Amino acid sequence: MRKLSPTIIAMCIVSCLSITSAQEPVTENMTVLAAENIRAGEIIDASDLATPNPSVELQPTILAALIGKEAKRSIYKNFPITDRDVKTPTIVERNAVINLEYNNGLLQAVTSVRALDSGGMGETIRVMNLSSKTIVMATIIDDGRARVQ
């Protein structure tokens, strides 16, 4: 077994301390827990959220960032919920046939395409023209509609 020199150990300790001190302190009103088990794909509402201390209320900005979002994965009761655990709700499923709109001011066109990815409002996905099999990127604007620029 190889021994580490005291200099290397000191450098590691200083590096670890600088990393942990740079992190923002977590307060009780910033921590959001799942009040019950949330399955992947479920839309999160206020009744799904809790705090570690029931006497502390959640900040409205934190609530707004989580309510109405879709869980990316299963989140178990009393486990923390972060912005990495949620996403914009899916309104276009992969392989769905949707309308693709194009409008440059002079020309307006609408055609049917197949969504090659799932996505939510405002997200960019790949779509394939059913006739020509051409693949383009499009932004989801509504349920069953996307726009290409």
pLDDT of 58 reads 76
User: Is residue 62 over pLDDT 60?
Assistant: yes
User: Is residue 13 over pLDDT 80?
Assistant: no
Mean pLDDT of the 120-145 span: 94
User: Is residue 12 over pLDDT 70?
Assistant: no
Could you tell me what percent of the chain has a pLDDT over 70? 80
Distance between CA 1 and CA 29 in Å, rounded? 46
- The whole-model pTM stands at 0.63
Tell me the pairing of strands 145-148 and 135-142.
antiparallel
Mean pLDDT of the 71-89 span: 92
pLDDT of 61 reads 83
